[in-house]
Amino acid sequence: MSNCIIAQSGGPTAVINASVIGVVEENFKKGFYENVYAGINGIEGILNKKLVNLSEKSKEDLQHFRFTPSSGLGSCRYKMKDFRENDEEYIKLFNLLKELNIDTFFYVGGNDSMDTVAKLSEYTKINNIPVKVIGIPKTIDNDLPLTDHTPGFGSAAKLISTLTLETYLDSSVYTNNGIFILETMGRDTGWLAASAGASKLNGKQVADFIYLPEVAFSTEKFLKDVEEKFKSQNQVYIVASEGLRDKDGRFISETPLSGCHDNFGHAQLGGVGNYLKNIIINAGITKRVKSLELGVIQRCSMHIASKIDLDEAYMVGTAALNYANEGHTGYMVAIKRNESLNYESSTFLAEASNVANNIKYVPINWINEEGNNVTEEAINYITPLIDNYIPSYVRFNK
């Protein structure tokens, strides 16, 4: 009987380990493989023979692992070379897999990880190597095309929508309130920032403005909007994605230091909240401005994880195992939102090559005409993924 291997890559999520356990436990039930190995620190760790056998772990440890946030197998941001230029690491990888009698490789990750899946599957086809390669999606950014959404996003969205409401209440306690800015992750897309639109108090959205990378950021319009809102209600609540760009496509908060890019060439971002804070103060609107950068808590918020997100992360893991047993290779397991009264989802296969190096943006018609908030369509898309959960709070000072 053959074996399989699974590894994780890219940024963590709160529910990424549930996908791994989906593979392991489904294999316990179906018995397709003798052993489920795991690579420590992704493809990079596999190449360095850093492996563990998950089939030998206790059921108790596996259950704890399922509900452990962040990448429990470790991760990497390792970009494989084009095998047409240099195939040394491909030869090394598949020789190692052959030694362990591994005929299926599962890779849990986002866009860059699907690039690895596409490269590996193409290499196996060209060289007649009997190894199947299946991608399992994860990313809080929700920017993978073809799939309705990605495991990890729902939990991050639930955290953001809850903290938006709670920090709004915190920033609203005085007679003379100021301006509060919440910065979310989101290099290229505004899915995370958009999730703040689900935060409501007494049926009214608490965020006055939500800014997404899908719309070019105008400093002049921003300051005009904020000043008018501040004069009218003596308080403004702003949500901004870290990936905001100007009309020329430049990140408004890109780190000016040289060499601040990862292995895939992505600029290191952060500081949008402080940037907006400074231009508000410099414009003389008010000095009472606070900004909060949520940072990595968006990726590891198991304490408030979405149950739907956890279940779907597990679901794509089990589906991956079954798709591999059917002989599929070169695909990513994608999620389909079923048409039903109550939210339901199922899986299907998407070509990894059609996912890799492509981005799913927030639809423009889900952003208001002013470019500073989201529409009900966006909120209706997001709400089921956060368990339809918005805390019910009451206050008497307004």
Characterize the bridge pairing of strands 3-8 and 331-337: unpaired
Measured CA to CA in angstroms, residue 120 lies from 98, 185, 347 at distances of 15, 30, 22
- Determine the angle formed by the axes of helices 111-126 and 88-99, rounding to 10 degrees: 80
Active-site residue, selected from the candidate residues 141, 148, 309, 387: 141
Round to whole Å and give the CA distance between 96 and 111. Answer: 25
Amino acid at 35: N
Active site residue 141: yes
Task: Please tell me the distance from the alpha carbon of residue 381 to that of residue 20, in angstroms, as a whole number.
Answer: 26
Dist. CA 81–CA 90, nearest whole Å: 9
Record the tokens describing residue 273, joined without a space: 């909240």
Q: Which amino acid is located at 215 in the chain? A: V
Q: Is 27:321 a contact under the CB 8 Å cutoff?
A: yes
Residues known to be catalytic: 141
